[in-house]
Amino acid sequence: MATIKDVAREAGVSTATVSRVLNKSGYMSEEAVNKVNKAMETLSYHPNAVARSLVRGKHNSIGVMFPYLSIPFWAELESELEQVAERKGYSLMLAVAPNDAEAYIEKFESMRARMPDGIITCYIKDTEDYICNSETPTVILGNTSYGPSVSSNDEQGGLLAAKHLIAKGCKNIVHISGELGSRSSANARTYAFMKECEKEHIAYKVYETKRSQYLKMDFESVISNVFYENEHFDGIFASNDILAAHCVATALSLGYRIPEDIRIVGYDDISLSRWIYPSLTTIHQDNTKLAEIAVETLLKELEGEEVPDKQVLPVRLIERKTT
């Protein structure tokens, strides 16, 4: 196995020069860099990342704490984060973020022990003081009152969904929300929807799902209640695309015509929304941009730069065949 001395000998430079090239520190001529890179390729030399991190006090890794990645939105966002981090020279450490604050803090401490340079995490209620006092640079994915945070504009999304269904002629709309008592930033989409319906004097009813249902993607009971308790409803706004897809399947199985009898809007614009039939009208969250800004904000924190407390990205409605 080649060593740094072998690389220096092959390139005709000092070991100090090889070290500077590896660590990208100090002055290096372009000729020296090319010689070292060519020597490493010739010798199939791969620097020991662990040893380098100990020397530099930097591990080039980012901790990521999300809900279960069986949830498509978080899985797709994690994939985007991984691509952005890789382009910046970082790898990801993944961990599931428990919903209970005490369990979350324990998992966060476990993640810190793995020594990532910083952490990107979803929002968990009652962890504000802990995160604010943490010595590990952290970015929250969610519209929180403490920061730095990066999120989509959930209020705008709820408003867009309500306006679209009303514009399509819906007079009696059902909304299937998340767990409203969780203080999730996503609840803003529910409240914006309700406010717009009240403003336009449109009848609406809200069905709340529990986090346990969300984690298991098990919405059969709440969706059954929606269809069997509402005889004359003509629109559904679901707080995520999985819920909306379940509503589409249930409506078709009961003989409803979509969109003639009932119009359905989802949220997130995950890949599934384009694959189901009829294809799903939904609110698009820009996961690529969310990932880019989250990683860039964390890296700026690591460099000691000032970063905004809150960054909120716009969403947009994608009209497809369910409306």
| 30-48 pLDDT, tens digit each | 888 888 889 888 888 776 5
17, pLDDT greater than 70? yes
pLDDT of residue 58: 63
Residues 281/266, Cβ–Cβ less than 8 Å:
yes
- The domain spans of the chain are 4-47, 61-152+287-314, 154-285
User: Fold match between 4-47 and 61-152+287-314?
Assistant: no
pLDDT of residue 52: 47
Cα separation of 227 and 174, whole Å?
Answer: 10
**Which residue is it, tokens 């509503």?**
247
Strand order across the 138-141 sheet: 91-96, 61-66, 118-122, 138-141, 149-152, 310-313
231, pLDDT greater than 90? no
Question: Which pTM value belongs to this model?
Answer: 0.79
Mean pLDDT of all residues in 243-247: 95
Residues 121/97, Cβ–Cβ less than 8 Å:
yes
Cα separation of 52 and 62, whole Å?
Answer: 16
pLDDT band at 50 (very low <50, low <70, confident <90, very high): very low
- The tokens of 57 are what? 């006090």
If one looks up domain 4-47 in CATH, what number appears? 1.10.260.40
* Interval 186-224: pLDDT, tens: 889 999 999 999 999 999 999 998 777 666 667 888 999
From 3.40.50.300, 3.40.50.720, 3.40.50.2300, 3.90.230.10, which CATH number describes the 61-152+287-314 domain?
A: 3.40.50.2300
pLDDT of residue 129: 82
Architecture of domain 154-285: 3-Layer(aba) Sandwich (3.40)
| Distance set, CA 298 to CA 186, 213, 224 (Å) | 22, 32, 43
> From start to end of the chain, where are the E strands?
61-66, 91-96, 118-122, 138-141, 149-152, 172-177, 203-208, 235-238, 263-268, 281-284, 310-313, 316-318
pLDDT of residue 70: 75
